[in-house]
Amino acid sequence: MPDRRQFCTAALSLGASLAAPFALAQGAAYPTKPVTIVVPNPPGGVVDTSARLVSDALARQLGQAVVIDNRAGGSGNIAYQLVARAPKDGYTLLASYSAYHVGNPAMFAKLPWDQKDLVPVGLIAAATNVITVNPSLPVNNLKEFIAYLKQNPGKVNYASQGNGSLSHVGTELFCQTTQTRMTHVPYKGSGAAIQDVLSGQVQVFMTTPPSVIGHIQTGKLKALAVTSKMRHPMLPNVPTTAEAGLPGFELEAWVALFAPAGTPPEVIAKLTDTLKTVLAQPETKKRAETVGIEARYMDPPALAALVKKDTEYWGKIIKAKNITAD
């Protein structure tokens, strides 16, 4: 007659063998309910635009609704904390903005989240910046602009989306590179900044193209250069910084999907594969170009390496310029 311990061992083995495929089946079934992408910015602008660029296509591929949840404020920290503390099940994701992700650790003595609280799913998009000025400024190109700044140190005001934003840090990097000086006027987002640049209260704004392309095309703003290796498809007549006489100065923002650390690997893999498929679709690339950004996929290991590199790079600039957040 079989020993009772042998019987229990066999039963446990059978249970484990049955549980394993069930767990795999559960992972394979993901998602079984709507997925939320938390955006750390208000509607409009490069981050929200990037999230909405992929949300509908992700929903079609995943078979569930993908909802955009705008949680602006706190220099992005409200949204980052929310996702960092969310259930680790793949149903709450973050559309991360490079300025927040790699800049905030250097600008805040204490953050309510940590980079290690989030794991990469994949890059969604990248966007160059464009150097714009009010037409009243007596310059017609980048060389004239730099010369004017050197003749009028500190007399020209530049707008930013807030202390510590990419437009703030990037413009300070521009001043450092060109050995010029401007006066910083921070705003809470692009909307108010653009209005004051249009009115001439502030003369300069360096930002991603989506929010200013219309004003450039109508002549309300003058574009001096795009801060990338290639010209922007929506601004074909605007030279790159290298073409305009400032080689080596490049400034790019990125937006990427992240999930709470501890999310099952099979869920991350499914999200990553789905995102890659969506970004490869011609209609996605065309829509991205239309709104002034570049659909660009990057897998989790490459994205993790980018975060590490950018955190070190921007951290040095932020500390050297003693930049602090609002």
pLDDT of 9 > 50? The answer is: no
Judged by average pLDDT, the poorest of 66-70, 163-167, 294-298 is: 163-167
* pTM of the entire predicted model: 0.82
Q: What angle do CA 128, 38, 88 make, to 5 degrees?
A: 120
Q: Please tell me the predicted confidence (pLDDT) of residue 181.
A: 96
Give CA–CA dist 112/269, Å, rounded. Answer: 27
In eight-state DSSP terms, residue 236 is: T
Q: Using an 8 Å Cβ cutoff, are 201 and 208 in contact?
A: no
Cα end-to-end span (Å), the chain: 76
d(CA 301, CA 208): 26
Q: What is the per-residue pLDDT across 175-193, written as a single tens digit (0 to 9) for each? A: 999 999 999 999 887 888 9
What is the pLDDT of the chain when averaged over all its residues?
A: 90
pLDDT, position 326: 58
Q: What pLDDT does 28 receive?
A: 58
Residue whose tokens read 């707008």: 159
How confident is the model at residue 312, as a pLDDT?
Answer: 94
CATH number of the domain located at residue range(s) 130-226 in this protein: 3.40.190.10
Do the domains spanning 33-127+253-320 and 130-226 agree at the CATH topology level?
Answer: yes
How many CB atoms are closer than 10 A to CB 173?
A: 21
Is residue 14 pLDDT above 60, yes or no?
Answer: no
Q: Residue 2's pLDDT is what?
A: 46
pLDDT > 90? residue 33: yes
> pLDDT tens, 190-226?
888 999 999 999 999 999 888 899 999 999 999 999 9
**Residue 174 is which amino acid?**
F
Q: Looking at domain 33-127+253-320, which CATH architecture does it have? A: 3-Layer(aba) Sandwich (3.40)
Work out the average pLDDT over 128-155: 97
Tell me which of 267-271, 300-304, 322-326 is least confident: 322-326
Listed by start position, the domains of the chain span 33-127+253-320, 130-226
Is residue 164 over pLDDT 50? yes
For residue 285, count other CB atoms closer than 10 A to its CB: 15
Q: Percentage of the chain with pLDDT > 70?
A: 91
pLDDT for position 217 = 93
